[in-house]
Amino acid sequence: MVLESKGEPSTDGIQNKIGIKGVSYTCNEDHKKEYVHIEVDMPPANGHLNERQRQPLLGLCKQVTTAISNGVGWEPRNDSNTDNSEHQRPNMGHIHQALVDNKHQSDSGTTPTEDDIGFSHKYLNNNANGAAVHIDIPNNANVLSSNDKIRIPQEKFKTFVALILLIVNFLITTTSLAVVHERVPDRSLYKPLPDTFLDAVPARDWALDVSEIFIIVSTNLTLLIIASHKYRFIVLRRLMFMLSLLYLLRSITMFVTVLPTSSTTYYCSPKANSTNPVLIARRVFQLFSGFGLSINGKHTFCGDYIYSGHTTILVMSYLITVEYSPRRWYILHWASWLMAAVGVLMVLIAHGHYTIDVIIAYLVTTRLFWIYHTLANNVYLKHSSSNNYLSRTWWFWMFKYFEGNINGPIPRQYDWPLPWPRRFTAAKYPNRDS
């Protein structure tokens, strides 16, 4: 900061001009005669600050101006061309210590110290009116290099816990379907409910097989992306935990409200007209062995309408692919979106679900994904408070267990998941935007 005469400052006390190496910001705290001059290495594109960017400078101007006006760090300057009684220079160590002492009093942030990344002492030649302080702002290369040094724990045991949670909730869902099958209204007595799309499009049984083929392809593609991610256990843990929540909620919605069959041609196994633990266990094993798909002939039970499991898997696969694959793989992103859209459309053409089932599945899946990643990518949201309404979700305590040691977004970095061959293990892509 250079105490020197500048042009008339703006109303908020900050004035800036473009220089060769940066932007010079001149602040006139409380419109006094002294001006604090700040030179920044990395200016905005147009050299001007918006209101949000000016706030940190306002606080810094106030702290430094207060320190200087109180005589902190000032000592006589020995210069043959100047008068010692009129010209002084600051002791930068004293002023910096004053800033450090005040950093805990500000709610807007902290003042960098010698140990912080990107901070260094640079003293500019002071002119006849004051002193200079040079503020270094690290460029993107330094930020990336510092991120590469940060160790993010994989915590494989937590991933195993998420796997157990997913298996348990999938068993709960299949158990719910095994019971609901006995409560489905008789197809000969109750017709499908009125539905705008289903009433306009005749049922095509082959369309359900097409949808499940897309599910198989998108699911394997998602697992391949996760396996190639450097933090694969974190991504896999997140996927399994979110799916476990979706399966648990689906087991409840299909159980509390049983709708008539949406298709008049889909094969439903005969009802037993009575349930017992052995019968339910057989049905659960049949559904579990077929992964809930009908293309392999395992899913022959009806009643799992609210909400669509096919839509949930297709949408979740797309979201994971876009979030954790390289940003520039646009073709993959669009292909994943196309598979999800066509797969959902095929479910409706096959009359495998009502339209409302698909809409609810999309809303629930996307909102859960976005809420979870908003919480995971912002450290301050991982703590319960009266203003953090996201912490009121019933699964927040489990989220804190899985994400407690991850501070912020995980980088988009990839490596070969196997120890062989060596020529693949040496290839790493640290650029987060690649």
Three-state secondary structure along 167-230? Answer: HHHHHHHHHHHHHHHHHCCCCCCCCCCCCHHHHHCCCCCHHHHHHHHHHHHHHHHHHHHHHHEC
Q: Whole-angstrom Cα distance, residue 274 to residue 186?
A: 15
pLDDT tens figures, 108-132: 444 444 444 443 434 344 444 444 5
Q: Whole-angstrom Cα distance, residue 17 to residue 24?
A: 5
Residues with active-site annotation: 310, 353, 357
Answer for the pair 362, 315: CB distance below 8 angstroms, yes or no. yes
pLDDT(331) > 90 = yes
Q: Which of 55-69, 196-210, 352-366 has the lowest mean pLDDT?
A: 55-69
Q: Which of 102-106, 223-227, 324-328 has the lowest mean pLDDT?
A: 102-106
pLDDT tens figures, 273-329: 888 899 999 999 999 888 888 888 888 899 999 999 999 999 999 999 999 999 999
Q: Whole-angstrom Cα distance, residue 313 to residue 309?
A: 6
Q: Which of 97-111, 142-156, 405-419 has the lowest mean pLDDT?
A: 97-111
Q: For 405, which DSSP code?
A: T
